[in-house]
Amino acid sequence: MKKAAVQTDHNNPVISIRGLKKAFQDYAVLRGIDLDLYQGENLVVLGRSGTGKSVLIKIISGLLKPDEGMVKVFGQDIAHITEDDLQKLRIRIGFSFQNSALYDSMTVRKNLEFPLVRNKRNLTRGEINTAVETVLDAVGLSQTINQMPSELSGGQRKRIGIARTLILNPEVMLYDEPTAGLDPITCIEINDLINEVQQRYNTSSIIITHDLTCAKQTGDRIAMLLDGQFQRTGTFDEVFNTTDSRVKPFYDYNFIE
Ligand SMILES: Nc1ncnc2c1ncn2[C@@H]1O[C@H](COP(=O)(O)OP(=O)(O)OP(=O)(O)O)[C@@H](O)[C@H]1O
Contact 112, 123 (CB under 8 A): no
Nearest CA to ligand 1 atom 30: 50
Q: Taking the C-alpha atoms of 237, 44, 194 and 71 in order, what is their torsion angle to the nearest 10 degrees?
A: -150
pTM, whole model, 2 decimals?
0.91
Is 155's C-beta closer than 6 angstroms to any atom of ligand 1?
no
Check: complex ipTM more than 0.90: yes
Rounded to an integer, what distance in angstroms lies between the CA atom of residue 181 and that of residue 3?
A: 23
- Å from CA of 228 to ligand 1 middle: 12
pLDDT at 256 (0 to 100): 54
Contact assessment for residue 60 and residue 26, using Cβ atoms and an 8 Å cutoff: no
- The Cα 10–Cα 221 span in angstroms is 13
Distance 224 CA to ligand 1 centre (A): 16
Q: What is the mean pLDDT of residues 74-87?
A: 90
For residue 51 and ligand 1, the question of a CB distance below 6 A is answered with yes
Answer whether residue 257 shows pLDDT above 50. Answer: no
Cα angle 13, 222, 180 (rounded to 5 degrees) comes to 115
The residue contributing the CA closest to ligand 1 atom 4 is 24
Domains in the chain (CATH in brackets) are 15-254 (3.40.50.300)
